[in-house]
Structure 1
Amino acid sequence: MVRADDGYRDRLLRRFAPSEPVNIRSLILMSSTETMLELASVQKLYAPQANGGPVGGVHASSFTLDKGTFFSLLGPSGCGKTTTLRCIAGLEEPDSGIIRIGGNLVFDEKSNVSVPLNRRNIGMVFQSYAIWPHMDVFENVAFPLRVAKDKRRGKDEIGRMVNEALETVGLGGYADRPATRLSGGQQQRVALARAIVRKPSLLLLDEPLSNLDASLREEMRDELRRLQQNIGVTTVYVTHDQSEALEMSDQIAVMEHGRVVQLDTPRKIYRQPSSRFVAEFVGTSNWIDGILAGRESDLIALRLVDGRVVYCKDLAVAAQGKALRVALRPEAIAISAADSSKDALPPGTNRLEGVVTFAGFVGNMMRYRIDLNGFQIQAYAPPQSPFDLGQKVTLTFAAGDAIPFTATA
């Protein structure tokens, strides 16, 4: 830009593999450091909520995107994702900060610069596709070309550009189809074609898949990423769906209460969360509480309530004797029968004994909950795994997969 048996682990990690192949377009983009979007301390605040809730909006948001990047703004409802997108588009005017698109200044509060939306060379797809039912597919896609004030286009040029956009999104031959006779997935493709027909330098997508059913959503996720790679347009994607962001993005900004709390690659967001909020929001985490009992090499020893010790990464988050909460992903845990070999473990590997209290089959895996002498931990395993309720099991996991945070973070 998680762990049971080797095959299951490999499938789960495939999309985060550091050795995943890079196509020619990606190599070209990586060799080019042309900046396509820059936000510097952009702030847009709204009045406090009537019930005394927090001030909404965006607090001093800053990031820079290279040309061709697929970038996701990820976070819960109300965290400022859409406000950030609307400020980039020109639908909202920030209170302060600087925005540049393709090197061109489009907003600067100090210089009194605020370029209108229709002069920012962007394409945008909203959560509702805004497909006009009285127009056919061709006219829906042609609309931005017909109303553009920057350039007058003839009938032939409009026809060529519309048909090219429809072919790009897989709707070649649909030009004469009435908009009312389109499926949800087809409407989304029309909205995408309309957004890219003018060949924008920046594509903004505000939860465009949220109105689709689960199976179509997954299909369109693949199509959207393929489209973005083929045309090479820099894309800002707003979503609260972590799986969408992880699978599609080159970079992710996780937002909380209007602030970017971590900006990184999908792999690092998932494997190296910078805060308890990120660890809780992105994926599923077990939380193990204890006291920092000591340091050994690059590891720390966490002493649990019952006296057992778990080794974790040493991130220098606290001094000895301080309370810690450790995040551990369920897929990072290997489960075996309790009577398995008691041979010495490799350095940096943890072993805990427990009892299965829940076993749920979810198709591609089993989800287990194990009682570890008073606290529960969740672990994933292949669907054919044989563990039953009440069975004693052994859990093993690497110290490097256990991420410590201060108990009050």
Structure 2
Amino acid sequence: MASQTGRNEGAVGGSVLRLDRVSKFYGAKVALDDVSLTVPDNAYVALLGASGSGKTVLLRTIAGFETLDRGVITLKGKPVNEVPAHRRAIGFVFQNFALFPHLSVVDNVAFGLKNAPGVKLDARAIDTKVRAMIELVGLSGLEGRAVTAISGGQRQRVALARTLVTEPQLVLLDEPLGALDANLRSRMCGELRRIRERLGVTFLHVTGSETEALAMGDQVIVLDQGRIAQIGQPDEVYTRPLDARVARFLNCYNLIEGRVEGRGFATEGRLLPCAQIGPAGAEIYALRQDLIEVAPPAQGPNEGPRLPVTFVASEYSGPSITSFFKLPSGAVITVENHLSHRDPQVFEPGRSYDLTWKVDDALILARGTGARA
């Protein structure tokens, strides 16, 4: 289990990578702030963060493309701070693939082996390894094709094969699916997991997509403003974000401002019941969009949590309908109705409704990272 020193600590078996209090500055700007974590062998770890959170900087420091200002990076038990990038046995797959346009598929894949430091392989050994890797990533038959004459998904596989053929101890992927269209991105998620499992090497996959991180990672690391905000299994991060900023990254929670009062949460002129009060200073009531029901306005005493709203509009997205409601304060609440679960409700614009949910489904959260949610 990937873990953060002093937080979310879990039993770690064999680890491939350890970061101890790693920091990186660009003048007065803090890019990485005291980051500590352990990444296990033979795992797919997703690193999720918003633009500017420091996730690409973190990847580049691990790879050796950036020097640290503080901290230690350990690979397979050995510190590598002073080891140049080309000797770290770390593979790096760039978002734009960084292929050589004048070389064929087979020559792109072979490039790393032909130019690797240390023991040199003969031409026959290189050809055998390269063709085996091309077959593994599903590109057999395209060996002689120019990389400018193949699709985006195929170019991504060439970039991956070029990295994997050198047998790195760790593979870093910097938003590797970002340049692909939505359908291809979905298919490549499964391909990346299949390839990683076949080889048994750890992938550390950076992404700004919460859907991608939750689908790909055995573990998910959430990076926020250069700090680790949470580490956990995908279902843990999804259902129990540690603070409001993590919940916002997941893009599936409504975050309602208020304050804890006794055993309840005061917001929108009501005191909502709470199953748990949350951390000290908690000011956010978090409701997952798919766990909210819409009902006619209550005529009598409330049973369970309930908020009055006005319907604004709905959006149809194929498998679900997303509806938007306005609270008395003007804040907008989003309700997601999965069509496979129930028939869609029909709402009238401008009409009043009540939102209801189970008490246990609400989370009381702090804002997180010392900033507004």
TM-score category, normalised to shorter length:
0.7 to 0.9
Residue of structure 1 in register with 2:54 after alignment: 80
Percent sequence identity is 35
Structure 2: any 5+ residue segments left out of the alignment? Answer: 2-9
**Alpha-carbon distance between aligned partners in 1 of 2:180 and 2:317, rounded to the nearest angstrom:** 22
Q: Would you say the 8 A contact 2:305–2:356 is kept in 1? A: yes
Residue number among 183, 192, 198 corresponding to 2:151 in the alignment: 183
Q: Report whether the alignment pairs 1:327 with 2:295.
A: no
Residue of structure 1 in register with 2:348 after alignment: 389
Code of the residue aligned with 2:25 in structure 1: it is L
**Alpha-carbon distance between aligned partners in 2 of 1:316 and 1:142, rounded to the nearest angstrom:** 53
Q: 1:175 to 1:361 in 2, by over 3 A?
A: same
Residue number among 131, 140, 149 corresponding to 1:163 in the alignment: 131
Q: Report whether the alignment pairs 1:218 with 2:186.
A: yes
Code of the residue aligned with 1:64 in structure 2: it is T
Residue of structure 2 in register with 1:147 after alignment: 115
Code of the residue aligned with 1:227 in structure 2: it is I
Residue number among 18, 37, 43 corresponding to 1:38 in the alignment: 18
Shift of 1:288: 2.4
Residue of structure 1 in register with 2:313 after alignment: 358
Shift of 1:290: 3.2
Moved more, 243-252 or 352-361: 352-361
Shift of 1:183: 0.8
Residue of structure 2 in register with 1:103 after alignment: 77
Shift of 1:138: 0.7
- Kindly provide the CA deviation profile for residues 309-364 of structure 1, in whole angstroms up to 9, marking residues without a partner as x: 3434222424xxxx832111111213345589x9996xxx5344544222221211
Residue number among 398, 402, 406 corresponding to 2:358 in the alignment: 398
Q: Would you say the 8 A contact 1:335–1:381 is kept in 2? A: no
Secondary structure of the equivalent of 2:262? Answer: strand
Secondary structure of the equivalent of 2:166? Answer: coil
Map 1:12-161 → 2, pairs under 5 A: 33-48=13-28, 55-107=29-81, 114-161=82-129
Residue number among 311, 318, 333 corresponding to 1:377 in the alignment: 333
| TM, length-normalised to structure 2 | 0.87
Code of the residue aligned with 1:335 in structure 2: it is V
**Alpha-carbon distance between aligned partners in 1 of 2:316 and 2:153, rounded to the nearest angstrom:** 30
**Alpha-carbon distance between aligned partners in 1 of 2:13 and 2:89, rounded to the nearest angstrom:** 20
Shift of 1:72: 2.0
Residue number among 259, 273, 276 corresponding to 1:313 in the alignment: 276
Q: Would you say the 8 A contact 1:313–1:401 is kept in 2? A: no
**Alpha-carbon distance between aligned partners in 2 of 1:257 and 1:239, rounded to the nearest angstrom:** 15
Code of the residue aligned with 2:68 in structure 1: it is P
**Alpha-carbon distance between aligned partners in 2 of 1:121 and 1:149, rounded to the nearest angstrom:** 10
Q: Name the count of aligned residue pairs.
A: 356
Q: Would you say the 8 A contact 1:127–1:208 is kept in 2? A: yes
Secondary structure of the equivalent of 2:130? Answer: helix
Code of the residue aligned with 1:329 in structure 2: it is R
Shift of 1:222: 1.8
**Alpha-carbon distance between aligned partners in 1 of 2:288 and 2:209, rounded to the nearest angstrom:** 18
Shift of 1:168: 1.1
Shift of 1:306: 2.7
Q: 1:153 to 1:31 in 2, by over 3 A?
A: farther
**Alpha-carbon distance between aligned partners in 1 of 2:228 and 2:149, rounded to the nearest angstrom:** 41
Moved more, 268-277 or 187-196: 268-277
**Alpha-carbon distance between aligned partners in 1 of 2:279 and 2:91, rounded to the nearest angstrom:** 44
Secondary structure of the equivalent of 1:313? Answer: coil
Shift of 1:406: 4.6
| TM, length-normalised to structure 1 | 0.80
Structure 1: any 5+ residue segments left out of the alignment? Answer: 2-29, 49-54, 108-113, 296-300
**Alpha-carbon distance between aligned partners in 1 of 2:92 and 2:173, rounded to the nearest angstrom:** 6
Secondary structure of the equivalent of 1:176? Answer: coil
**Alpha-carbon distance between aligned partners in 2 of 1:238 and 1:305, rounded to the nearest angstrom:** 38
- Kindly provide the CA deviation profile for residues 374-399 of structure 1, in whole angstroms up to 9, marking residues without a partner as x: 44321111344132224554433222
Shift of 1:276: 1.8
- RMSD of equivalent CA atoms: 2.6
- Kindly provide the CA deviation profile for residues 282-311 of structure 1, in whole angstroms up to 9, marking residues without a partner as x: 22321223342322xxxxx12334335343
Secondary structure of the equivalent of 2:59? Answer: helix
Code of the residue aligned with 1:317 in structure 2: it is A
Map 1:231-246 → 2, pairs under 5 A: 231-246=199-214
Secondary structure of the equivalent of 2:31? Answer: strand
- Kindly provide the CA deviation profile for residues 53-72 of structure 1, in whole angstroms up to 9, marking residues without a partner as x: xx142112110011012112
- Kindly provide the CA deviation profile for residues 87-134 of structure 1, in whole angstroms up to 9, marking residues without a partner as x: 111111111211111222212xxxxxx111222112111111111121
Shift of 1:233: 0.9
**Alpha-carbon distance between aligned partners in 2 of 1:289 and 1:32, rounded to the nearest angstrom:** 37
Q: 1:180 to 1:289 in 2, by over 3 A?
A: closer
Secondary structure of the equivalent of 1:286? Answer: strand
Map 1:277-356 → 2, pairs under 5 A: 277-295=245-263, 301-318=264-281, 324-336=283-295, 349-356=304-311
**Alpha-carbon distance between aligned partners in 2 of 1:217 and 1:246, rounded to the nearest angstrom:** 14
Q: Would you say the 8 A contact 1:273–1:279 is kept in 2? A: yes
Q: Would you say the 8 A contact 1:287–1:325 is kept in 2? A: yes
